[in-house]
Amino acid sequence: MMLHVPEVLSAPQVQQLRRALDATEWVDGRETVGDQGAKVKRNRQLPEQSPVSQELGRLVLAALARHPLFFSAALPLHYVPPLFNRYEGGEHYGLHIDGSVRRVPGTGAQLRTDLSCTLFLCEPEEYEGGELEVVDTYGVHEVKLPAGDLILYPSTSLHRVTPVMRGARVCSFFWLQSMVRDNHQRGMLFELDQSIQKLRARLGETDETVALTGHYHNLLRLWSEI
């Protein structure tokens, strides 16, 4: 399941991040990929361990913690701290798959990448090209979202970023391990949760909404790995 999560960051928060990103130094994006990715990756990133990257990453994760739609869809357990990238002057990232297991920098921890996230930090009209293209069995999905919005997609998908031919594309990107490993099970829980929320908004709390909430939690108990 791919999901557009709107308004993760407010306009002032986006501006705060953009100012900090404009004032700092970027390095070659090939530093954080293996051999296969390095052949097709042409962009720049903030160094993983830089204080700016870590501080802005914390801000992104704090915003996500306050976003019920994101939580409902992702059921996050562990995150790789958010990274930041920039594409301009024809830079791009060819078709690739994200690594299945990633080390959390500065710790001994590793996590399984169940979901990939791209948080857009500039408006679509600020640059030409730079679409995120995610390939699945239904074909190619082209993604270019307003500043502050996020796309959540399964890390099992092949994807690419098309060349940026005008302006600059600035995003945050990161991975998470979900409490529910299976995309189909996680998608079913998301649909059930969203339907329960709509029923509660329409009818108030009823014996049926309480019973359905019980089913939701019992399925989560059955399927979650913590």
Q: Which residues bind Ni ion (CB under 5 A)?
A: 98
Task: Closer to Ni ion by CB, 30 or 200: give it.
Answer: 30
Query: From CA 226, how far away is CA 75, in angstroms rounded?
Result: 11
Distance CA 69, CA 6 (A): 9
Sheet holding 92-96, edge to edge: 41-42, 92-96, 158-161, 132-136, 139-143
Which is nearer to Ni ion, 105 or 209 (by Cβ)? Answer: 105
Beta carbon of residue 179, minimum distance to Ni ion (angstroms, whole number): 22
SS3 category, 179: coil
Give the Cα separation of 186 and 70 in Å (integer): 12
Q: Point out the residue whose Cβ comes nearest to Ni ion.
A: 98
Smallest distance from the beta carbon of 81 to Ni ion, in angstroms? 16
Report in angstroms how near the CB of residue 37 gets to Ni ion at its nearest: 8
The first and second tokens of residue 193, run together, are 């949760």
Query: To which residue do tokens 């005008």 refer?
Result: 166
Q: How far is the CB of 40 from Ni ion (least distance, A)?
A: 10
Instruction: Find out whether 42 and 145 touch, Cβ atoms under 8 Å.
Output: no
Tell me the closest approach of the beta carbon of residue 226 to Ni ion, in angstroms.
Answer: 26
Q: Phi, psi (5° rounding) for residue 111? A: -140, 155
Which CB, 127 or 173, lies closer to Ni ion? Answer: 173
Q: Which is nearer to Ni ion, 98 or 131 (CB)?
A: 98
Q: Which is nearer to Ni ion, 98 or 193 (CB)?
A: 98
